[in-house]
């Protein structure tokens, strides 16, 4: 599908960085998808279907899965949650995935990460049929991405590109620095940015002179998984800063023990960077919202391949 664009840019109160609002962009995507699904269903086609596999009881995963299932409901995708005990064996999970692979009524399969430590994440992700791999993490789909062939692409990287497009942030020819080289975020987002004709530098935990490299970036994508690592000295004035990190902090201040709640921050010191950046994504309400929206886009992509068969 064509990802929507907007003319609305959210200025912060003091006129500093403009906020790239992931919730707004995601809602535009969701709206288009709802209409698309309604057209298919009204023409007599079955509904798209997604199965989410959750192993264990990681509280953050529970929140992510709940959001995914609710979004499916909102736009007309059938969804089911398959839960496994935290001690479930590899064999048990692989048998379940093979069954879902063979089920012609299921378009997408998503295994919520992280898996408990005793399970081999790579082997489990690789056992999902590539045409149902809506997280885009199967080596076949990652291969398509790097070959520049359309396919199922990882949701967070795809969401970052969609958010930049939504706000008309120029990418072509720009100097982009990505912090992080994971298969989930860093490597695929670098590949997608390269396809958009950016000049891309990938940094990681062994990179020397990291802050100096980041200061060269027109667009800085931070996916290091290190809480509030990037401060104002890392950012070129006017740069676009995309914060992928998610860290849940226990915040008991002023709340009393019983009312304690989790505060969420990113990999970027938002209040420090905001005054000098040109654009910045908030956490929460930035990249995370786009990740869920792209899962829906991928599920519809898989559905369209399946109903065309």
Which residue in the list 18, 21, 36, 68 is annotated as catalytic?
68
Instruction: Choose the binding region for ligand NAD from 35-43, 163-171, 238-246, 255-263 (rule: CB under 6 A).
Output: 238-246
Per-residue buried b or exposed e for 247-265, using 16+ beta carbons within 10 Å of the residue's own CB: beeeeeeeeeeeeeeeebb
Instruction: Choose the binding region for ligand NAD from 3-11, 29-37, 115-123, 182-190 (rule: CB under 6 A).
Output: 182-190
Residue 205 burial by CB count (10 A; 0-12/13-18/19+): exposed, middle or buried? Answer: exposed
Give residues with Cβ within 8 angstroms of 264, minimum separation 6: 246, 247, 248, 249, 283, 284
Sole binder of ligand NAD in the list 244, 268, 277, 300 (CB under 6 A): 244
Distance CA 226, CA 215 (A): 18
Question: Active site includes 112?
Answer: yes
Number of residue whose CB is nearest ligand NAD: 182
Sole binder of ligand NAD in the list 210, 241, 269, 300 (CB under 6 A): 210
Handedness of CA 225, 229, 233, 239 (dihedral sign): positive
> Using CB under 6 A, which residues numbered 214 to 233 contact ligand NAD?
223-226
From residue 2 to residue 21, the character string flagging contacts with ligand NAD as x (rule: CB under 6 A) and all else as - is: --------------------
Does 205 engage in binding with ligand NAD (CB under 6 A)?
A: yes
State how beta strands 108-111 and 175-179 pair.
unpaired
Instruction: Choose the binding region for ligand NAD from 42-50, 132-140, 143-151, 241-249 (rule: CB under 6 A).
Output: 241-249
Residue 79: beta bridge partners? 50
User: Mind telling me the catalytic residues?
Assistant: 68, 112, 135
- For ligand NAD, the binding residues (CB under 6 A) are 156, 179-182, 184-186, 203-205, 207, 210, 223-226, 244-246, 287-288, 291
């Amino acid at each position: 599908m064509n990802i929507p664009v907007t003319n609305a840019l959210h200025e912060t109160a003091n006129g500093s960085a403009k906020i790239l609002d992931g919730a707004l962009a995601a809602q535009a995507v969701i709206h288009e998808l709802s209409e698309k699904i309604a057209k298919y269903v009204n023409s007599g086609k079955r509904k798209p279907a997604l199965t989410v596999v959750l192993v264990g009881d990681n509280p953050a995963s529970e929140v992510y899965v709940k959001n995914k299932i609710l979004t499916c409901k909102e736009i007309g995708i059938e969804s089911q949650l398959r839960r496994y005990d935290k001690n479930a064996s590899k064999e048990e999970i692989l048998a379940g995935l093979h069954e879902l692979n063979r089920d012609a009524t299921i378009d997408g399969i998503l295994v919520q990460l992280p898996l408990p430590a005793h399970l081999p994440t790579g082997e489990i992700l690789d056992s999902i049929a590539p045409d149902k791999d809506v997280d885009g993490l199967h080596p076949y789909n990652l291969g398509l991405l790097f070959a520049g062939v359309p396919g199922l692409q990882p949701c967070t990287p795809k969401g970052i590109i969609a958010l930049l497009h939504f706000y008309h942030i120029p990418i072509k020819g720009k100097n982009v620095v990505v912090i992080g080289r994971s298969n989930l975020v860093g490597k695929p987002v670098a590949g997608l940015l390269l396809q958009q004709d950016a000049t891309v530098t990938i940094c990681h935990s062994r990179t020397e002179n990291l802050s100096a490299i980041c200061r060269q970036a027109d667009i800085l994508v931070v996916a290091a998984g290190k809480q509030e690592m990037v401060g104002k000295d890392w950012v070129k004035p006017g740069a676009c800063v995309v914060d992928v990190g998610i860290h849940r902090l226990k915040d008991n201040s002023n709340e009393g023990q019983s009312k304690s709640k989790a505060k969420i921050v990113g990999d970027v010191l938002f209040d420090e960077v905001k005054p000098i950046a040109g654009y910045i994504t908030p956490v929460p309400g930035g990249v995370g919202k786009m990740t869920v929206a792209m899962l829906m886009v991928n599920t519809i992509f898989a559905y369209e391949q399946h109903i065309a068969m």
